[in-house]
Amino acid sequence: MNRSAVFIAFLLCAFIPTATLHAEASAPIPLRDAVECTPRGGLPHFFAKLQRGGIVKVAYLGGSITAQAGWRVQSLAYFQKLYPQAKLEEIFAAIGGTGSGMGVFRMDHDVIAQKPDLLFVEFAVNDSGTPPPEIIQNMEGIVRKTYKTLPDCDICFVYTITGLQLKEIQNGKMSQTASAMEQVADGYQIPSIHLGIEVARLDKEGKLLFNASSAKVEEVEGKGLDTSTNMRVGADGKIPFSRDGVHPYLDTGHRLYTEAIARSIPAIQAIPANLEPHRLRQPMDPENMETASTVPLDKANMSGPWTQLTGPGSAPNSKVPGDMHFSRFMASLWKGEPGAELAFRFKGTRAAIYDLIGPDCGKLEITVDGTSCQANRIDAYGTYYRISSVNVGSNLARDQVHEVRIKLLDDPLDKENILMPSKRDDVKTHPSKYEGLYWYAGAIFFEGEWVH
């Protein structure tokens, strides 16, 4: 999905069942001028709460760049230093390799339920390759879901970059992805901060090495951020930005990201404070994802060999794959073996299954309204487990009840050749890790109405 990130958000079917894509889905949109900060309506409720003191919650919704202990940790420390009378608390809502398409479905559980005072949204990298109209629908859905339930919560969009986007910014333009998000920011007067403008300038001037795979830098946690100290540089005198052209080093690349936030705050604070609750305007796109919902897997008709691994009613001594804290995001997790089936009905435009992808996973057959496709739950990066989702359908007929049936097949997979070449030796080294053809599923995402 994302050409430049090392993680992939979704494993999509080769077709979109019963769907007709919007004609404009692949049409480019005008690129915005590359500016570091556009304050728009500011963050008045957030700063008022900081001034008053007490507990102030900041939510970070994004992908792996936000999941790193970098700009997320550093920006929270920065706000705490500016407002010692407040007690800053973090809401961690970042999952590597995921974009706004999953983010909008995760809003209720991962963000809104914890009642943040400020929500940072970071999907400019992982949404690369997503059609701009879909980005706008997702981002507008995130905004509208927030304002509908938490009208005093402010939102700020932040844009990170990959090496593939450097030249575009150096030529004075934002990426297509960020440009689409700016349309939503304009419509709802949401401030935005582009974290990569200074990075691109330093790279152009020969002062920064964006892809510094062998750099010797200390990956600190970001505590005690002090922007007055000299930036760490390599033996070549350049600032090593990232190891892989995507994920910044914590005390160089992420520090540059945090400094962009620090430079932007005065302009955002200067916006005259309007402490009226955020009110929902007419939707920019009536097909926006405001009604994106999540239901537990057992709301569907489950048949065949399923075992509940986590959550109420889970099997005793269940072994959860990997060592990640999936329970932070998934209320329950089920393990399906070949022959396990899932069936449900909904009326709406999109559906997906919230699941894990990893080495001992198999292949699904997905049937929507009588049309089928297949999807592997191991991909080129599948030497370990990570949270993902498998697409069921997009741009489906809104007023039609859609019949969904998913079956875990017993088909063998050539997992060694599914992995990227650099990871294939892992199959030879740890063959038992790749045995099995399981499916680890957590919940059902859908837009529209659940049909019993």
| CA–CA dist 247, 346 (Å, integer) | 38
Average pLDDT of the residues in 286-315: 94
Check residue 319 and give its pLDDT: 83
The per-residue pLDDT for range 141-169, each reduced to its tens digit, is: 999 999 999 999 999 999 999 999 999 99
Q: Where in the chain is the domain with CATH 3.40.50.1110?
A: 15-269
pTM for this predicted structure:
0.90
- Looking at residue 316, its pLDDT comes to 82
Residue 312: what pLDDT? 84
Please give the C-alpha separations between residue 324 and each of 71, 112, 444, in angstroms, as whole numbers. 21, 23, 20
pLDDT of residue 216: 61
Confidence of residue 217 (pLDDT cuts 50, 70, 90): low
What was the pLDDT predicted at 318? 81
Residues 38-76: tens digit of each pLDDT: 999 999 999 999 999 999 999 999 999 999 999 999 999
Stretch(es) of the chain classified as CATH 2.60.120.260: 292-451
CATH number of the domain located at residue range(s) 292-451 in this protein? 2.60.120.260
CATH class of 15-269: alpha beta
Q: Which residue has the higher pLDDT, 237 or 265?
A: 265
> For residue 105, which phi and psi values (nearest 5 degrees)?
-75, -30
What's the pLDDT tens digit per position in 169-181?
999 999 999 999 9
Over the stretch 408-429, which tens digit does the pLDDT of each residue have?
999 999 999 999 999 999 999 9
Q: Return d(Cα 153, Cα 57) in angstroms, integer.
A: 10
